[in-house]
Amino acid sequence: MTFLYLNSDKMGQGDPELGNKLMGIFLEELAKSDLRIDLIGCVNSGMNLTTKGSGVISSLRELEKRGARIATCGTCLDFHNKREDLLIGEIGNMEQTVQVMAEADKIIRPN
């Protein structure tokens, strides 16, 4: 199983605007690639990728169409009062994250 772990809505350190742009390009290219992603886990500011205002929903929808399950951290959504803003996928929890990380054949973390 391949797990895409998104713990930020930005890629890399430095300018936040550039980091957001890089993450968007990364997800767009991933959605166009032949790489199979089984599960996408969004935690911390990564939850911004699956909620209202996200600029990457179309890339995530494409990955979902190709079989990826998408789970966003419920604790993170609650902390930022964004549970009602979730646009794609399901609400996950840390128990699931721990289990998936322990069992995944490959973990991709683009930060």
Q: Quick one: pLDDT at residue 111? A: 77
CATH of the domain at 61: 3.40.1260.10
Q: Quick one: pLDDT at residue 90? A: 97
Residue-wise pLDDT tens digits, 10-52: 999 999 999 999 999 999 999 999 999 999 999 999 999 999 9
Give yes or no for a contact between 1 and 96, defined as CB atoms under 8 angstroms apart. Answer: no
Residue-wise pLDDT tens digits, 52-110: 999 999 999 999 999 999 999 999 999 999 999 999 999 999 999 999 999 999 999 99
Number of domains forming the structure of the chain: 1
> Which range marks the domain in which residue 25 is found?
2-108
Provide the whole-model pTM.
0.94
